[in-house]
């Protein structure tokens, strides 16, 4: 109390009006002074509270610039170049952040303008004209023009550069309209061409003087990592062996769009998912993705939020319709489809992070109508089909087999004379050799020589009453003609033969997750029917060159990915049956070909939808494949990372869509 009185006495030197307060305090008792000061402080505190309340009510938390985001990746960067996009997600991730395209995907997986300010479709969909935005620059400050766009596509189309994207741009002519205008002329109408324009553009002034053999294939220097994306290259950290440990990008201050909030992004590279997760758990990284949901238990993890992003890709079993065998018979394909428990695949392999798939056009993802008929899991019906087709359980082996009585066709259908050769000559020699008196030498050569002629003469004379006498001969001629063939076919060929056909087949797939795990579930399901299933697992390289390219399989387990504009043409049109076409099943249908062509060419979304819905119903009835599941992309971020709003992506790298909106730091601003 006395210190408060001294405080007021000190103030009166500067504020003479306070002298009356001194007289006021003199007339108050000690108790009254205490009450006064309590009330005084309540007024002060109330004032502060009201001001703070006013401030918080009239302001809001907003993103602030600054902060570093660190993400863990499995693998090593190799081709950080848009024209050499490899199958490695690591390369695609870096390209996504460093470079820009004419078009891009938004958070809902829809195509919108990026470097393009606008576009126009002309000549009934065969011409696309694009106008670039104003004031767009490369990371080094050079302006980005239509010349860069044309240069990028020229590189891709030039076979010397061996770009895997070349097939997408085959036959497309690119013309310069102005410094900001580009015209694309297509050989035929293609509604999905806009997606081609999401291609990331490379700088002409960096690459134009490099011959194909000198183009940098490896991550070698900052010089070749010049893009126009929201972040630019800052530094790379490698160990003594050259292993890339970390690659850091910084905010692109010249970015045409919204300036990113994050100051830096660092990508840390690890050997495997286990190492990534361990680094996440100690706080070394703030983001990572996983392919196997069993590697990370989100239910017990409090330091990360999980984002399960929808992807337009699915896994399916493809029948080789080009190959003769069991599955030429549709009813057997139907039995295998009914016997598959897709929910088991989704649960056991993906912990239910995804959806069961019934169609190649993913109607649930794209908003199409579901197939007119959906085939449910029904083991008993599958068994009935197999029984009807004659595949019975062998009580000794427990496996199904079918006994077929085959009529054996005649072996000898043409005249054979000295000098003849071939398989039927070999069959002739084998038949004659059964009788040591007729053909004591017993030589099987496939060539009709002197010894074979002598054996034929002995055969003819042995059965002279049936071969020679009817045509007025007494001695053998050595030529195998009508009467001789008739007797040979009676002696050498059994009229009927019993053949046992086991319900046995091979399922080919890659040796990578999740294909091996899915294959094991399929094997269990089909073995429950009484089938014998062998899983053939091969490396990705062998899978591409031997299995896919040569169509060397009975059944194939593989995945396929659609784009934001669904176009099943590459996967199911009959023109794509041969390598490098992607019609893996060698499916052929004139009716579906017409529907796929119409869907690809129309710019009317409703018409495309109708064509694709009709296509799906016909294809599912023909049953060239069994569609299994669609899985989510599992992405984990620290709660400190704000502003993430992605819902659908067309590939894993698109998780960085809208990365300029991510933020760590915040501030309060007036509403």
The sign one gets for the Cα dihedral 514, 515, 516, 518 is positive
Torsions phi, psi of 229, nearest 5? -80, 180
Strands 532-538 and 504-510: parallel
Q: For 661, which DSSP code?
A: G
Residue 28: pLDDT above 70?
Answer: no
pTM of the model: 0.77
| SS3 call for 593 | helix
| Predicted local distance difference test score (pLDDT) of residue 447 | 93
| Predicted local distance difference test score (pLDDT) of residue 13 | 55
Q: Which helix (H) or strand (E) holds 72?
A: strand 68-74
Tokens 């074979």: give the residue: 452
Query: What's the gap between Cα 480 and its chain centre?
Result: 61
| SS3 call for 261 | coil
Torsions phi, psi of 208, nearest 5? -65, -25
The sign one gets for the Cα dihedral 660, 662, 668, 671 is positive
Residue 550: pLDDT above 80?
Answer: yes
CATH-assigned architecture of domain 68-310+633-670: 3-Layer(aba) Sandwich (3.40)
Q: Which two tokens stand for residue 23?
A: 């007289």
Q: How far apart are CA 146 and CA 166, in angstroms?
A: 20
| Predicted local distance difference test score (pLDDT) of residue 17 | 55
Starting at the earlier edge strand, list the strands of the sheet with 264-270. 231-238, 244-251, 264-270, 68-74, 287-290, 633-637, 305-309
Tokens 């079993």: give the residue: 317
| SS3 call for 537 | strand
Buried b (16+ CB within 10 A) or exposed e, 275-308: ebbebbeeeebbbbbbbebeebeeeeeeebebbe
Q: How far is CA 172 from CA 162, 580, 601, in A?
A: 17, 19, 15
The domain limits of the chain are 2-57, 68-310+633-670, 313-400+503-631, 423-493
pLDDT band for position 318 (50/70/90)? very high
Q: What is the pLDDT of residues 62-98, one digit of tens each?
A: 899 999 999 999 999 988 889 887 667 899 999 999 9
Q: How far apart are CA 602 and CA 591, in angstroms?
A: 17
Average pLDDT over residues 420-438: 89
CB 498 within 8 A of CB 546: no
Q: How far is CA 155 from CA 127, 196, 204, in A?
A: 21, 15, 10
Q: How far apart are CA 610 and CA 249, in angstroms?
A: 45
Q: What percent of the chain has pLDDT over 90?
A: 61
Q: Which residue has the higher pLDDT, 405 or 168?
A: 168
Residue 296: pLDDT above 70?
Answer: yes
Average pLDDT over residues 418-435: 89
| Predicted local distance difference test score (pLDDT) of residue 21 | 56
Beta strands in 282-345 (DSSP E): 287-290, 305-309, 313-319
Average pLDDT over residues 558-565: 88
Q: Which two tokens stand for residue 552?
A: 């060397």
| Predicted local distance difference test score (pLDDT) of residue 407 | 57
Q: Which residue has the higher pLDDT, 537 or 671?
A: 537
Q: Which two tokens stand for residue 45?
A: 């505190």
The sign one gets for the Cα dihedral 47, 52, 57, 58 is positive
Helical pair 605-622 and 590-601, crossing angle rounded to 10 deg? 160
Q: How far apart are CA 195 and CA 595, in angstroms?
A: 21
Q: Which two tokens stand for residue 628?
A: 């299994």
Residue 194: pLDDT above 60?
Answer: yes
Range scoring the smallest mean pLDDT among 47-61, 238-252, 409-423, 548-562? 47-61
Q: What is the pLDDT of residues 345-398, one digit of tens each?
A: 999 999 999 999 999 999 988 999 999 988 889 999 999 999 999 999 999 899
Q: Which residue has the higher pLDDT, 301 or 186?
A: 186
Average pLDDT over residues 149-155: 95
Q: How many CA atoms lie within 13 A of 158 on its CB side?
A: 13
Q: How far apart are CA 272 and CA 288, in angstroms?
A: 12
pLDDT band for position 12 (50/70/90)? low
Closest CA to 166 of 176, 175, 182, 155: 155
The counts of H helices and E strands in the chain are 22, 24
Average pLDDT over residues 545-554: 89
pLDDT band for position 20 (50/70/90)? low
Residue 574: pLDDT above 50?
Answer: yes
Average pLDDT over residues 640-659: 93
Q: How far apart are CA 146 and CA 129, in angstroms?
A: 11
Q: What is the pLDDT of residues 576-626, one digit of tens each?
A: 998 878 899 999 999 999 999 999 988 888 999 999 999 999 999 999 999
| Predicted local distance difference test score (pLDDT) of residue 14 | 47
| Predicted local distance difference test score (pLDDT) of residue 25 | 60
CB 181 within 8 A of CB 132: yes
| Predicted local distance difference test score (pLDDT) of residue 104 | 94
The answer to whether domain 68-310+633-670 and domain 313-400+503-631 are alike in fold is: no
pLDDT band for position 55 (50/70/90)? low
Q: How far apart are CA 391 and CA 529, in angstroms?
A: 10
Q: Which CATH superfamily is domain 313-400+503-631 in?
A: Dipeptide-binding Protein; Domain 3 (3.10.105.10)
Query: What's the gap between Cα 234 and its chain centre?
Result: 31
Closest CA to 73 of 668, 656, 664, 670: 656
Residue 306: pLDDT above 80?
Answer: yes
Average pLDDT, the chain: 88
CB 423 within 8 A of CB 446: yes
| SS3 call for 501 | strand
């Amino acid at each position: 109390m006395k210190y408060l009185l001294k405080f007021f006495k000190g103030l009166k030197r500067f504020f003479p009006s306070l002298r009356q307060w001194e007289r006021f305090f003199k007339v108050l008792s000690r108790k009254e002074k205490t009450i006064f000061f309590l009330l005084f402080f309540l007024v002060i505190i109330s004032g502060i509270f009201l001001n703070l309340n006013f401030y918080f009510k009239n302001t809001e938390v907003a993103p602030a610039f600054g902060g570093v985001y660190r993400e863990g990746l499995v693998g090593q960067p190799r081709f950080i170049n848009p024209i050499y996009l490899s199958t490695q997600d690591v390369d695609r991730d870096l390209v996504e952040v460093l470079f820009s395209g004419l078009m891009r995907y938004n958070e809902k997986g829809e195509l919108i303008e990026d470097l393009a300010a606008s576009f126009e479709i002309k000549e009934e969909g065969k011409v696309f004209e694009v106008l670039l935005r104003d004031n767009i620059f490369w990371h080094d400050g050079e302006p980005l023009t239509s010349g860069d766009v044309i240069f990028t596509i020229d590189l891709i189309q030039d076979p010397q550069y061996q770009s895997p994207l070349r097939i997408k741009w085959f036959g497309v002519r690119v013309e310069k309209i102005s410094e900001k205008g580009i015209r694309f002329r297509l050989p035929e109408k293609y509604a999905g061409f806009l997606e081609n324009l999401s291609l990331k553009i490379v700088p002409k002034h960096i690459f134009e003087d490099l011959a194909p053999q000198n183009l940098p294939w490896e991550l070698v220097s900052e010089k070749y990592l010049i893009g126009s994306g929201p972040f630019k290259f800052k530094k790379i950290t490698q160990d003594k062996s050259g292993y890339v440990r970390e690659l850091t990008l910084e905010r692109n201050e010249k970015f045409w769009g919204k300036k990113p909030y994050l100051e830096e992004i660092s990508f840390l590279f690890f050997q495997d998912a286990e190492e990534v997760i361990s680094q996440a758990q100690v706080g070394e990284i703030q983001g990572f993705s996983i392919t196997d949901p069993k590697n990370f238990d989100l239910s017990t993890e409090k330091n990360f939020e999980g984002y399960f992003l929808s992807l337009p890709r699915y896994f399916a079993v493809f029948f080789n319709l080009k190959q003769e065998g069991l599955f030429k018979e549709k009813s057997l394909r139907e039995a295998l489809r009914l016997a598959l428990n897709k929910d088991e695949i989704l649960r056991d392999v993906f912990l239910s992070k995804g959806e069961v798939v019934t169609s190649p056009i993913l109607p649930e993802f794209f908003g199409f109508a579901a197939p007119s008929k959906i085939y449910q899991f029904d083991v008993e019906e599958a068994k009935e089909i197999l029984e009807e087709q004659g595949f019975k359980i062998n009580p000794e082996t427990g496996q199904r087999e079918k006994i077929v009585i085959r009529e054996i066709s005649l072996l000898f259908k043409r005249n054979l004379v000295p000098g003849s050769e071939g398989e039927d000559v070999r069959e002739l020699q084998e038949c004659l050799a059964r009788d040591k008196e007729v053909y004591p030498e017993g030589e099987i050569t496939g060539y009709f020589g002197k010894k074979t002629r002598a054996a034929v003469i002995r055969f003819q004379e042995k059965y002279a009453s049936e071969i020679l006498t009817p045509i007025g001969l007494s001695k053998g001629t050595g030529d195998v003609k009508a009467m001789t063939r008739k007797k040979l076919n009676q002696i050498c060929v059994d009229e009927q033969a019993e053949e046992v056909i086991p319900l046995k087949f091979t399922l080919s797939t890659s040796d990578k997750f999740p294909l091996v795990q899915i294959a094991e579930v399929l094997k269990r399901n089909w073995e429950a029917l009484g089938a014998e299933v062998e899983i053939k697992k091969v490396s990705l390289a062998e899978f591409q060159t031997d299995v896919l390219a040569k169509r060397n399989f009975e059944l194939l387990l593989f995945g396929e990915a659609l784009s934001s504009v669904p176009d099943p043409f590459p996967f199911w049109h009959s023109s794509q049956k041969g390598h490098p076409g992607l019609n893996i099943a060698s499916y052929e249908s004139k009716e579906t070909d017409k529907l796929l062509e119409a869907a690809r060419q129309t710019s009317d979304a409703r018409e495309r939808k109708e064509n694709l819905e009709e296509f799906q119903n016909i294809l599912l009835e023909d049953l060239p494949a069994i569609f299994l599941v669609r899985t989510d992309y599992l992405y984990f971020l620290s709660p400190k990372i704000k502003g993430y709003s992605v819902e659908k992506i067309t590939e894993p790298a698109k998780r960085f869509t809208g990365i300029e909106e991510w933020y760590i730091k915040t501030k309060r601003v007036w509403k």
